[in-house]
A and B are shown apart, each in its own frame.
Chain A
Amino acid sequence: MRSISLCFQVHQPYRMLPYTFFDLGNNHVYEDNRANETILKKVAENCYLPANALLLELTQHFMGDFRCTFSLTGTFLEQSVEFNTPVLSSFQNVVRSNCIEILSETYYHSLSAFFHPEEFRRQIDLHRKYIHKYFGLTPSIFRNTELIHNNAIAEQVKGLGLKGILTEGVATLLKGRNNQKLYTPSQTEIPLLLRHCTYSDDIAFRFSDKQWKGYPLSATTFAEWIDHSLKKNEHLTLYIDYETLGEHHSSATGIFEFIKELPKEILSRKIHFLNPSEAIESHDIQDVYDAHHTISWADSEKDLSAWYMNSMQREALEKIYSLTPLIYKIKNRAFLETWSRLQTSDHFYYMSTKGLADGKVHQYFSPFPTPYDAYIHYMNIVADFELELKKYSIL
């Protein structure tokens, strides 16, 4: 059987306020709720609501033959509830079609896998709890923040009882092998689904690029490419930001029509839609994907360098995780939540000083004018947070 998974990542961080030295000790509100609400509502209007309506229509029309997968971060779910939007119920409607799988991940879209195993586990558990609460589902396939992956993380994920992992298909690890097979890490055995970087980015990045030779891309052409590329018993994983639909590419680009046409084109070529947990049941592990260094789906380096490279990112990340023992000791819910939200990987992404094309992507997502501003404000917030923590722990 030839099959394909279509996965959408849905994430919104809690953006922080510009927080100056003069706020230190005076102001303990760190989150820019106005910006967070405005952005969520804008993206809901451009993407979440129309895209959900489309997916619901497709699942109904194909009666189970069209299936897709969501990865929903905790910070996204929380904001859609907090700002009183119809977003959550709209996702619940789609999920009720029984054609949707939801992936497991860290609740706060954090880099905890790399910095603190116990915190990593806590966030996966928290996420599982909320997915069950909102959708009645228990995720079994894990995707880490930004598809960050290595052998050690895989081992830990297996230890948590999860059944498979979705991560990036990185050329340096594939060494010429194709990413349309199931792999396993070297020490432990757990199925790995690899994101097909080229086809995923054709939709996510290049779809509206008039300079691209594939422009304009039709669902027919795209399905032809996939048909041509998939051999017998192979499986292909597409994994893109959900915001690709209507937000990164506006509806005027024809992205919704593309998605609408895609299932028909795929199915007519005798390729099945399978969600990740179904794919690992239908296909066998064929080879070893030995990630002894850490990989991710970000930037051209496909490693941690988008969040953990320059001195500002290093200090900020190391600082926030250095507070772990104190946070665990005082067991205060409000502090725990603030600290967790400060772990969201986006904060460190804004501090990246990479140039060229990747730098533009970083800047597109950042609420701050420069990486230096992002760092200054973040560290001022952490300074105030630390003061509050110490005050509390003395009492």
Chain B
Amino acid sequence: MLGWEFPPIVSGGLGVATLGITKALTKYVQQQVVLPKSDPGIRLPNTQVIGLNERTQIRVRDQFQTDYYQGYETSFSSAPSIDPYATNGSLPIGIKKPSTWSTGSSTKKKEWYHPFEIDALYDHQTHQKVIDYAFQTADLVQDWNFDIIHAHDWMTLLAGVEIKHRTGKPLVVHIHSLEYDRTGATENNWIFAIEKLGMEVADYVVPVSHYTASIAHETYQIPIHKLRPVHNGIDFKIPFKEPKQFPEKLILFIGRLTHQKGPEYFLEVADRVLQQYPNTRFVMAGTGDQFQPLIETGAYKHMGTKLHFTGFLDRSKINSLLSMADVYVMPSVSEPFGLSALEAAQFGVPCIVSKQSGVSEILTGALTVDYWDVKSMVQSILLVLRDEHFAATMADNARQDAALSTWERTAAQLFDLYKTLVVR
């Protein structure tokens, strides 16, 4: 298992999902999880968690076989990205080629040692760390006894591909999100190229939704027979209800305030709903590059006492919001899964989610709209606000959908997939 984020060292949904999957799989298989950085406190049955940061010396003996650089050398045009979820994925200028790799045709084995150092999972050095992670992980695991390589998202794909080259073991590539979702990138983009390479080399590609599978097929030209979508799950939680301290109905947006999540559509929807149904309040929880422009737009539309920005919120505050909410809206432009909608469903909040999302495939009780269709989104919200019986039915359905979405289900489907690979 090759992972990047892993709780408690986590910055987004990837870590939550990697842990959820790993934990549920302990029932079926033995796992060795290699991470760039791990918390020593983490303990799971049947599972060894290795953080490269904790190893004082790492040996790199063999020539790196995967050509990840030359084919894309011409595309390194733009400035280095700080956050791979916020900017384009081109390889930063000045990146170091490891010494073992530069000699090309030489077959002489070199050995070098150095500890893996990483502070933040995502910063200006992320690309270099991804390459270091691949070199060192490949060397670390090449003599181990294992059956399957399972790699999560682009940061670990280079390692996954290299290990497959060296060991001949089958590779499962798990796609939680694609560069295409994050930035709309298709070419001249190093991350996009790594993703394409990883999915091409993989024996199976496991996208977190049919929606993401369709992007892998249409945009990355991955053959359909290799795509095996498996939905994420959600940890069981007993929802609670907190009384609101104000009379208005509460409508929520939770997510990063970036174009991918469609916050500007939410703001437009809020404005129109307020005009037709003034007894409402809106909360936009999260932060991102659109934070300031959204605030200014809200002020321009004179919504400041009805549209509340909270900035980044911790788990307990998010839960508190969900416990008060009357409607949850997720207008994402492109959302591979959309865990936060599932969390809202768990709290019995009626959900309105964009059709361009993975979670819409399992939230059968939710209303779905195209992210750009502000008019339908407004009508859907008004429908829920005006009809209490309908809202109650939606809430029940949401709870049921969430109850069925377990990590156990996810793990069982992955284990079935593993079996077909090992038999072969």
Supposing A315-B300, A316-B304 touch, asked if A387 and B295 sit within 8 A by C-beta, the answer is no
Does B308 belong to the interface (CB within 8 Å)?
A: yes
Does A372 belong to the interface (CB within 8 Å)?
A: yes
Closest residue on chain B to residue A386 by CB atoms = B305
Residues B265-314 near A (CB distance < 8 A): 283, 291-292, 295-297, 299-300, 302, 304-306, 308-311
Supposing A312-B304, A380-B308 touch, asked if A24 and B246 sit within 8 A by C-beta, the answer is yes
Residues B300-339 near A (CB distance < 8 A): 300, 302, 304-306, 308-311, 317, 320
Q: Interface centre among B247, B283, B304, B311, by most A CB within 10 Å?
A: B304
Q: How far is the CB of A354 from chain B (nearest CB, A)?
A: 14
Instruction: Enumerate chain A residues within 8 angstroms of B317, measured Cβ to Cβ.
Output: 22
Instruction: Enumerate chain B residues within 8 angstroms of A387, measured Cβ to Cβ.
Output: 246-247
Does A211 belong to the interface (CB within 8 Å)?
A: no
Give the contact-size bracket for chain A: 20 to 34
Instruction: Enumerate chain A residues within 8 angstroms of B309, measured Cβ to Cβ.
Output: 372, 376
Instruction: Enumerate chain A residues within 8 angstroms of B297, measured Cβ to Cβ.
Output: 311
C-beta contact mask, A292-324 vs B, less than 8 Å → 1, else 0? 000000000000000000111011101100000
Instruction: Enumerate chain B residues within 8 angstroms of A20, measured Cβ to Cβ.
Output: 310
Q: How far is the CB of B145 from chain A (nearest CB, A)?
A: 52
Is A311's CB under 8 angstroms from B310's CB?
no
In the complex the two chains form, what is the Cα distance from A311 to B302 in whole Å? Answer: 9
Closest residue on chain A to residue B245 by CB atoms = A25
Is B245's CB under 8 angstroms from A26's CB?
yes
In the complex the two chains form, what is the Cα distance from A318 to B300 in whole Å? Answer: 11
Instruction: Enumerate chain A residues within 8 angstroms of B292, measured Cβ to Cβ.
Output: 372
Is B308's CB under 8 angstroms from A383's CB?
yes
Is B295's CB under 8 angstroms from A372's CB?
yes
In the complex the two chains form, what is the Cα distance from A215 to B320 in whole Å? Answer: 57
Is A379's CB under 8 angstroms from B304's CB?
yes
Closest residue on chain B to residue A380 by CB atoms = B308
Q: Interface centre among B246, B296, B305, B311, by most A CB within 10 Å?
A: B305
Q: How far is the CB of B321 from chain A (nearest CB, A)?
A: 8
Is B302's CB under 8 angstroms from A315's CB?
yes
In the complex the two chains form, what is the Cα distance from A25 to B305 in whole Å? Answer: 13
Closest residue on chain A to residue B296 by CB atoms = A311
Is B246's CB under 8 angstroms from A376's CB?
no
Is A379's CB under 8 angstroms from B310's CB?
no
Is A310's CB under 8 angstroms from B296's CB?
yes
Is B308's CB under 8 angstroms from A21's CB?
yes
Instruction: Enumerate chain B residues within 8 angstroms of A55, measured Cβ to Cβ.
Output: none
Does A375 belong to the interface (CB within 8 Å)?
A: yes
Instruction: Enumerate chain A residues within 8 angstroms of B27, measured Cβ to Cβ.
Output: none
Is B304's CB under 8 angstroms from A375's CB?
yes
Is B299's CB under 8 angstroms from A314's CB?
yes
In the complex the two chains form, what is the Cα distance from A31 to B306 in whole Å? Answer: 21
Does B244 belong to the interface (CB within 8 Å)?
A: yes
Q: Interface centre among A22, A25, A318, by most B CB within 10 Å?
A: A22
Closest residue on chain B to residue A316 by CB atoms = B304
Instruction: Enumerate chain B residues within 8 angstroms of A314, measured Cβ to Cβ.
Output: 299
Instruction: Enumerate chain B residues within 8 angstroms of A379, measured Cβ to Cβ.
Output: 304-305, 308
In the complex the two chains form, what is the Cα distance from A90 to B390 in whole Å? Answer: 68
Q: How far is the CB of A24 from chain B (nearest CB, A)?
A: 6
Instruction: Enumerate chain A residues within 8 angstroms of B291, measured Cβ to Cβ.
Output: 372
Instruction: Enumerate chain B residues within 8 angstroms of A271, measured Cβ to Cβ.
Output: none
Instruction: Enumerate chain A residues within 8 angstroms of B308, measured Cβ to Cβ.
Output: 21, 24, 376, 379-380, 383
Does A204 belong to the interface (CB within 8 Å)?
A: no
C-beta contact mask, A312-339 vs B, less than 8 Å → 1, else 0? 1011101100000000000000000000
In the complex the two chains form, what is the Cα distance from A119 to B245 in whole Å? Answer: 31
In the complex the two chains form, what is the Cα distance from A20 to B321 in whole Å? Answer: 12
Instruction: Enumerate chain B residues within 8 angstroms of A382, measured Cβ to Cβ.
Output: 304-305
Is A383's CB under 8 angstroms from B310's CB?
no
Instruction: Enumerate chain B residues within 8 angstroms of A318, measured Cβ to Cβ.
Output: 302
Is A383's CB under 8 angstroms from B306's CB?
yes
Is B306's CB under 8 angstroms from A315's CB?
no
Closest residue on chain B to residue A312 by CB atoms = B299
Q: How far is the CB of A36 from chain B (nearest CB, A)?
A: 24
In the complex the two chains form, what is the Cα distance from A315 to B295 in whole Å? Answer: 11
Instruction: Enumerate chain B residues within 8 angstroms of A316, measured Cβ to Cβ.
Output: 299, 304
Is A383's CB under 8 angstroms from B296's CB?
no
Is A375's CB under 8 angstroms from B295's CB?
yes
Instruction: Enumerate chain B residues within 8 angstroms of A386, measured Cβ to Cβ.
Output: 305
Closest residue on chain A to residue B304 by CB atoms = A379
Q: How far is the CB of A32 from chain B (nearest CB, A)?
A: 19
In the complex the two chains form, what is the Cα distance from A375 to B307 in whole Å? Answer: 12
Instruction: Enumerate chain A residues within 8 angstroms of B283, measured Cβ to Cβ.
Output: 21
Instruction: Enumerate chain B residues within 8 angstroms of A22, measured Cβ to Cβ.
Output: 310, 317, 320
In the complex the two chains form, what is the Cα distance from A312 to B304 in whole Å? Answer: 8
Is A25's CB under 8 angstroms from B295's CB?
no
In the complex the two chains form, what is the Cα distance from A380 to B291 in whole Å? Answer: 17
Is A383's CB under 8 angstroms from B305's CB?
yes
Instruction: Enumerate chain A residues within 8 angstroms of B311, measured Cβ to Cβ.
Output: 376
In the complex the two chains form, what is the Cα distance from A375 to B246 in whole Å? Answer: 21
Q: Interface centre among B244, B283, B297, B302, by most A CB within 10 Å?
A: B302
In the complex the two chains form, what is the Cα distance from A387 to B305 in whole Å? Answer: 10
In the complex the two chains form, what is the Cα distance from A312 to B305 in whole Å? Answer: 11
Closest residue on chain B to residue A383 by CB atoms = B305
Instruction: Enumerate chain B residues within 8 angstroms of A24, measured Cβ to Cβ.
Output: 245-246, 308
Residues A354-395 near B (CB distance < 8 A): 372, 375-376, 379-380, 382-383, 386-387
Instruction: Enumerate chain A residues within 8 angstroms of B295, measured Cβ to Cβ.
Output: 312, 372, 375-376
Q: Interface centre among A26, A318, A379, by most B CB within 10 Å?
A: A379
Closest residue on chain B to residue A26 by CB atoms = B245
Instruction: Enumerate chain B residues within 8 angstroms of A311, measured Cβ to Cβ.
Output: 296-297, 299-300
Instruction: Enumerate chain A residues within 8 angstroms of B310, measured Cβ to Cβ.
Output: 20-22
C-beta contact mask, B243-265 vs A, less than 8 Å → 1, else 0? 01111000000000000000000
In the complex the two chains form, what is the Cα distance from A314 to B317 in whole Å? Answer: 30
Q: How far is the CB of A346 from chain B (nearest CB, A)?
A: 18
In the complex the two chains form, what is the Cα distance from A21 to B305 in whole Å? Answer: 10
Is A312's CB under 8 angstroms from B296's CB?
yes
Instruction: Enumerate chain A residues within 8 angstroms of B299, measured Cβ to Cβ.
Output: 310-312, 314-316, 375
Instruction: Enumerate chain A residues within 8 angstroms of B304, measured Cβ to Cβ.
Output: 312, 315-316, 319, 375, 379, 382-383
Interfacial residues, chain A to chain B (CB-CB below 8 A) = 20-22, 24-26, 310-312, 314-316, 318-319, 372, 375-376, 379-380, 382-383, 386-387
Q: List 8 interface pairs A-B (beta carbons < 8 Å), by A numbering.
A: A21-B283, A24-B246, A310-B299, A315-B304, A376-B295, A380-B308, A382-B305, A387-B246
Shortest Cβ-Cβ A-B pairs, 3 listed: A25-B245, A379-B304, A383-B305
Beyond contacts A22-B317, A311-B296, A315-B300: 8 other A-B pairs, Cβ-Cβ < 8 A, are A22-B320, A24-B308, A25-B244, A25-B245, A312-B295, A315-B299, A372-B295, A376-B311
Interfacial residues, chain B to chain A (CB-CB below 8 A) = 244-247, 283, 291-292, 295-297, 299-300, 302, 304-306, 308-311, 317, 320
